[in-house]
């Protein structure tokens, strides 16, 4: 998973697995449920409602990896 989390400078341009992770910390007394937004190379973006789904970090890693594999598969099918 860590090899997916790279900056644009360290990821070759032909790799479809670049992930842009942006973090916004909520105040401790916030009533807003936490969510995470991931932007993948190629313009695809997903938002995981981690609070609503009660996701742990392992669940997030698994879900982002799964989506990354799907995007990579789509990209490889387009190239063939």
Alpha helices in 1-80 (DSSP H): 57-79
Most confident of the ranges 2-16, 20-34, 54-68: 54-68
pLDDT interval class at 1 (50, 70, 90) = very low
User: Which pLDDT score is estimated for 43?
Assistant: 80
Q: What is the pTM of this model?
A: 0.63
Structure tokens at 79: 């190239």
How far is Cα 69 from Cα 65, in angstroms, rounded to an integer? 6
Q: Find the range with the poorest average confidence among 40-49, 50-59, 65-74.
A: 40-49
């Amino acid at each position: 998973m860590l090899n997916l989390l790279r900056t644009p400078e360290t990821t070759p341009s032909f790799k479809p697995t670049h992930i842009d992770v942006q973090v916004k910390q909520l105040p401790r007394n916030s009533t807003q449920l936490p969510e995470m937004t991931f932007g993948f190379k190629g313009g695809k973006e997903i938002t995981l409602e981690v609070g609503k789904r009660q996701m742990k970090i392992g669940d997030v890693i698994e879900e982002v990896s799964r989506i990354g594999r799907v995007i990579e598969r789509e990209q490889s099918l387009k190239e063939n």
